[in-house]
Amino acid sequence: MKKLINDPNQVVNDMLEGMVAAYQNRLRRLPGTKVIVRNDAPVKGKVGIVSGGGSGHEPAHAGYVGKGMLDAAVCGEVFTSPTPDQVLEAIKAVDSGKGVLLIIKNYTGDVMNFEMAAELAEAEGINVAKVIVNDDVAVEGSTFTTGRRGIAGTVFVHKIAGALSERGASLEEVEAVAKKAVQNVRSMGMALTPCTVPAAGKPGFELGENEIEVGIGIHGEPGIEKTTIKTADEIAETLLDKIFDDMKLEKGDRVAVMINGLGATPLMELYIVNKKVSEILKEKQIHVHETFIGEYMTSLEMAGCSISLFKLDDFLIELFDAPADTIALKK
């Protein structure tokens, strides 16, 4: 394992120190926690928006803290959900009296820790609502499993909920629009190489020289199948097909597209993937409102990408286009 770190047990702390040092005009860290909040939190008259999860997915989630998106991000250990006491501190720090919305990715640990935090906050008299993002179409949701995972499409949910809360909407309204966003976003990913968690010191899974894993989650969890390497066009087609199977899109529909790199994929390759994605959408006469290309939710140094489609209506477009000023996303 070769990594630019000091101590495997200090990576999250060291990362947060470096982040806050760079952006101290807009972010601060709650003392004694791994919580990053916007400098002006709690913002008067605004519903607080809190998200987070394990670290190692940078710029998610702290990169989306700022005007128009999140009020706080809670950073767990690498690939490990943050604990309820940390989430509770975030909730308390961003509540202006209008309540707080938690945006949670659908992983067992994340859901349980955030739910406990919500219960603790409610016991302290804070109104808390929750939305669970489950955009990954690779794993089927049924009553027998945890359901679909939350991956890169979560960033779209942050954007929409953040935009509406910035306008002074109520907790109920912000929760409703976040749920609507969740219903309209679908993603699917694939990996070319695994990644190495610093404290583990060895790759989380193995892939042969000519193998790829289709349908991985953002921790490299296995997805649909291990297959031999294909062209970018074929991969784009495979991922989109699976998304189309799950999402009803018709001629004339409008979407936002995200081609998300998982940490070790050059932009060149992401553009190549998007060439095919845009061709397929054009063929289907689906209008692309905007395309995000780059690293939005990574998986350490894993190579590969995910594709997300976000179906928009007039109201969602208005919120999508609203201003945002965060480290990783500006509008």
Partner 1 sequence: MAFGVKQAKRWMSIANDHIQQQKQYLTELDQAIGDGDHGLNMARGFQEVAGKIASTNYEDLGSLFKDVSMTLIAKVGGASGPLYGTAFLKMSLALAGKKEADDKELVAALEAALGGIKARGKANAGEKTMVDVWEPVMEFLREKGSVHAKEVELLAKEKMEHTKELEAKKGRAAYLGKRSVGHIDPGSASSYLLFAALAKALEE
- Residue 283, burial from CB neighbour count under 10 angstroms (0-12, 13-18, 19+): exposed
Q: Are 48 and 95 in contact (CB under 8 A)?
A: yes
Binding-residue pattern over the window 171 to 200 for partner 1, x denoting contact by CB under 8 A: --------------------------x-xx
Q: Which is nearer to partner 1, 32 or 252 (CB)?
A: 32
H or E element at residue 281: helix 267-283
Instruction: Write down the least CB distance from residue 76 to partner 1, Å.
Output: 6
Instruction: Write down the least CB distance from residue 225 to partner 1, Å.
Output: 12
Q: Which is nearer to partner 1, 63 or 82 (CB)?
A: 82
Q: Which stretch binds partner 1 (CB under 8 A): 61-69, 90-98, 112-120, 291-299?
A: 112-120
Q: Which is nearer to partner 1, 44 or 202 (CB)?
A: 202
Spatial separation of the C-alpha atoms in residues 94 and 165, rounded to whole Å: 12
Spatial separation of the C-alpha atoms in residues 166 and 169, rounded to whole Å: 7
Per CB under 8 A, does 219 bind partner 1?
yes
- Residue 261, burial from CB neighbour count under 10 angstroms (0-12, 13-18, 19+): buried
Instruction: Write down the least CB distance from residue 13 to partner 1, Å.
Output: 15
> Could you say which of 57, 61, 287, 289 is catalytic?
57
Q: Which is nearer to partner 1, 33 or 184 (CB)?
A: 33
Per CB under 8 A, does 107 bind partner 1?
yes
Q: Which of 52, 68, 82, 304 binds partner 1 (CB under 8 A)?
A: 82
> Could you say which of 158, 219, 287, 289 is catalytic?
219
Q: Which is nearer to partner 1, 223 or 261 (CB)?
A: 223
**Length reported for the chain:** 331
Token pair for 237: 């087609």
H or E element at residue 154: helix 154-166
> Taking the alpha carbons of 258, 259, 260, 266 in that order, is the dihedral positive or negative?
negative
Instruction: Write down the least CB distance from residue 116 to partner 1, Å.
Output: 5
Spatial separation of the C-alpha atoms in residues 225 and 214, rounded to whole Å: 6
Q: Which is nearer to partner 1, 166 or 213 (CB)?
A: 213
Residues facing 101 on adjacent strands: 49, 129
**Residues of this chain, 146-165, that bind partner 1 according to CB under 8 A:** 146, 149
DSSP 236-268: HHHHHHHHHHHS---TT-EEEEEEEE-BS--HH
Q: Which of 17, 40, 85, 124 binds partner 1 (CB under 8 A)?
A: 85
Q: Which stretch binds partner 1 (CB under 8 A): 18-26, 77-85, 124-132, 154-162?
A: 77-85
Q: Which of 83, 170, 227, 278 binds partner 1 (CB under 8 A)?
A: 83
61 counts as catalytic: no
The single-letter code of the amino acid at 289 is H
Per CB under 8 A, does 222 bind partner 1?
yes
Q: Are 156 and 317 in contact (CB under 8 A)?
A: no
57 counts as catalytic: yes
Per CB under 8 A, does 10 bind partner 1?
no
Mention every residue, 6+ apart, whose C-beta is less than 8 A from residue 268.
Answer: none
Per CB under 8 A, does 108 bind partner 1?
yes
Token pair for 74: 């809670």
Q: Are 308 and 152 in contact (CB under 8 A)?
A: yes
Which positions are catalytic? 57, 219
Give me the residues that bind partner 1 (CB under 8 A), please: 76-77, 79-85, 107-109, 112-113, 115-116, 139, 144-146, 149, 197, 199-200, 204, 217, 219, 221-223
